[in-house]
Amino acid sequence: MAMQQVLIKPLILTLCISLILQPSHSQQLSTSFYHKSCPRFEQIIQDTTTNKQIASPTTAGAALRLFFHDCLVEGCDASVLISSTPFNKAERDADINLSLPGDGFDVVVRAKTALELACPGVVSCADILAVATRNLVTMMGGPFYNVKLGRRDGLVSRASRAQNILPKPTMSMNRIIRLFKSIGFSVQEMVALTGAHTIGFTHCSEISSDIYNYNNSSRFDPSYNPRYAMGLRNACADYRKNPSLSVFNDIMTPRDFDNSYYKNLPKGLGVLRSDRALVMDRRTRPFVELYARDQKAFFEAFGRAIEKLSLYGVKTGRNGEIRRRCDSFN
C-alpha cells in the first residue's frame, strides 16, 4: 500500500505539471505559420484584398464587421461563413447576421479559391478572414497590427448562439459592457473596437425606430443632431420597399479609417443608438474624448484590442479542421 502511494504521488505531480505547461491554443499560433507550407500565402491574400477593395469599395467595412461577428460567437473560427442546411440553421442566418454585407464573404471565398490552387488543404478560412480584415483596415488608412496564424476552422455553427451573444445597437450600455467583460475585454478596449464604425455602413431598417415616429413628442431620437436626423429620414425614406438601403456609419470621412467617428459623437452624429450612448455614459465618454483628440492613441488602442480579439476562442489541432470550402464543413 505504501509503495502504491509512493508511485501515485509522482504520477499526479507529473500530470499537473504537464497541464500547466501545455500551451494555450493562441500560444500555438505564429506569424510565420505558412512560411514553409504555403510560401505565397501573404502575397495571395494581399492581391485578393487589394483587387476586391478596388472593385467594391465597401469591402473593408464588410470584412471588418464579418470578422467581429465571427470572433464574438464560438471564437475566431470562421463559423459565420457556414451555410445553413435542412438540418442546421447556421450563424449567418441568425436575424442579427442577415444584414452582413456580401462583399465580406466574397473576399474570403476569392482568397480561398486562389490559395487552394497554390497550396491545397493548407490554409484555414479563419486565417484568411483574419488577415484579409487586417489588410483591408490598413488599406483604408488604419493601423497595421500583427495577425498570428495557425487557426483551424470550427466544427459548429448555430444561429441561436449568434442571436444570444452578439451585441445589438438597442442594448443598454450596461449590457454591452457586461458582454465584452464576459469575454475578457475592458471598457476602454470595447470603446476602441467600436471605432471600427469609422468605416462601413448601417442598413436603414436597423435605425428606423430611431428616426421615424420615435415617440409622441418627437419624430426622431433627440440624441441625434436634428439636421442629421432629417438627413437620415430622407436617405432612408424608401427602406420598406428597398431593404438594402443603407447609410454610412461615419458621415464625414466614410472611406477613411480615422478618428472622425469619435469626433462625430459629441455632435449627435452617431448612426446607431449604441454609438450615441458612448458619449452619454460616464464610463465610456473619457475614451471617446481621448480618441477624438488623439488619433495615434486610437490607432494604438484599436491595434492592441483587435489583435487580442483575433486570438479569442481560436481552434487548433483536433479542435478544428481545414475546410475545403469555407461555407461547409468537410
Phi, psi of 212 (to 5 degrees): -125, 130
pLDDT of 74? 92
pTM over 0.95: no
Q: Three-state SS for 172?
A: coil
pLDDT of 216? 85
Q: Three-state SS for 264?
A: helix
Using alpha carbons, select from 134, 154, 123 the residue that is nearest to residue 36: 123
Residues 48/112, Cβ–Cβ less than 8 Å: no
* Strand segments (E) across the chain: 201-203, 246-248
The fraction of the chain above a pLDDT of 90, given in percent, is 89
The residue-averaged pLDDT of 111-127 equals: 98
Residues 259/199, Cβ–Cβ less than 8 Å: no
Taking CA 37 as the corner, what is the angle to CA 112 and CA 308, rounded to the nearest 5 degrees? 70
Higher-pLDDT residue of 27, 246: 246
Count CB-CB contacts under 10 A for residue 217. Answer: 6
Residue 9 has pLDDT above 70, yes or no: no
Residue 25 annotated to the active site = no
Task: Assign residue 270 a region (left: φ > 0; alpha: ψ between -120 and 50; beta: otherwise).
Answer: beta
Poorest-confidence range of 16-25, 51-60, 225-234?
16-25
Residues 233/204, Cβ–Cβ less than 8 Å: no
Which of 25, 69, 197, 203 is labelled catalytic?
Answer: 69
